[in-house]
Amino acid sequence: MALNVSRLDGPARPVIGLTTYLQQAKSGIWDTHASFLPGVYLDGVTLAGGIATLLPPQPVDADIASQVLDGIDGLVITGGRDVDPSSYGHDPHPTSDEPDRARDVWEFALIAAAVRRHLPVLGICRGAQMLNVALGGTLHQHLPDIVGHTRHQQGNAVFTTSSIRTVAGSRLAGLVGENTNAQCYHHQAIDRLGDGLMISALDDDGVIEGVEIPGDDFVLAVQWHPEETLDDLRLFAGLVEAARTYTTERGRTRA
């Protein structure tokens, strides 16, 4: 078999780890406890030039999280059920999901280790909330109580379109411009901002739709679902490019 030298000589594709669900799932005749993630997340990474790998919830400590991150160049904290309110000192709202504490603990460990090592991170919907709580922030548990309507999450798995305004000078603004339309499905949102985070986007209701850590590190999270509009890969492309740079710099450090 001939060796494809051109592929070996080309720019390396960074490996992007994506967190997953771990819950009961059906596939054909099977109904079993499973790790899974909607394929559009994988498409967002691969279409943007990355290699996608899944990171299922599992027992974790700081050493395990660090070892996992040794094998990837960027991290996506994906969407899913509500963050356990006890993790930010609140009692549960009647509408809050039953918490998935195993996933919460897993993702908190990954976020902490990723931020320490300056690994590029993209948070999506729940991922934005996880990042904020991991850094000491809190959440609004039910947005209709705050904004007076249910347009952010109308139910029945139907995404709604929100108009988003980015903050001038933010990394997010550099990626998507001053305004963008976003596919939203969330009944919770960021309340008190986590330590070291800045707001990088708001919607017309004043709801925080984007946050980031200012500076050179790519740590960015959006409250919407960019994987639902894969004709616009700017957020995934930004993560992949940051991961490629991280890989290059890490290789230089190791050399």
Tell me if residue 184 is catalytic. Answer: no
Q: Looking at the domain assignment, is residue 10 inside a domain? A: no
Q: Looking at the domain assignment, is residue 2 inside a domain? A: no
Q: Looking at the domain assignment, is residue 1 inside a domain? A: no
Tell me if residue 227 is catalytic. Answer: yes
What is the value of pTM for the model shown?
0.91
Nearest residue to 146 via CA among 104, 95, 181, 212: 95
Q: 189 lies in which domain range?
A: 15-20+31-254
Q: Looking at the domain assignment, is residue 8 inside a domain? A: no
Catalytic residue among 125, 184, 209, 212: 125
Q: Per-residue b/e over 131-146, b at no fewer than 16 CB within 10 Å?
A: bbbbbebbbbbbbeee
Q: Report pLDDT for 150.
A: 62
Tell me if residue 249 is catalytic. Answer: no
Q: Report pLDDT for 156.
A: 65
Q: Report pLDDT for 4.
A: 39
pLDDT 10s digit of each residue in the chain, 255 long? 333 333 334 568 999 999 999 888 888 888 787 788 999 999 999 999 999 999 999 999 889 999 999 999 999 999 999 999 999 999 999 999 999 999 999 999 999 999 999 999 999 999 999 999 999 999 999 888 877 676 767 676 777 778 899 999 999 999 999 999 988 877 889 999 999 999 999 999 999 999 999 999 999 999 999 999 999 999 999 999 999 999 888 764 443
Catalytic residue among 107, 227, 228, 241: 227
Q: Report pLDDT for 161.
A: 78
Q: Report pLDDT for 5.
A: 34
Catalytic residue among 107, 225, 228, 241: 225
- Helix, strand, coil distribution of the chain in percent, nearest 5: 35, 25, 40
Q: Looking at the domain assignment, is residue 26 inside a domain? A: no
User: Rounded CA gap, 150 and 147, in Å?
Assistant: 8
Q: What does the longest C-alpha to C-alpha distance in the chain come to? A: 64
Instruction: Read off the CATH number of the domain in which 93 is found.
Output: 3.40.50.880
Q: Looking at the domain assignment, is residue 4 inside a domain? A: no
Q: Looking at the domain assignment, is residue 186 inside a domain? A: yes
Which amino acid, 72? I
Count of domains for the chain: 1
Q: Residue 61 in contact with residue 109, Cβ under 8 Å?
A: yes
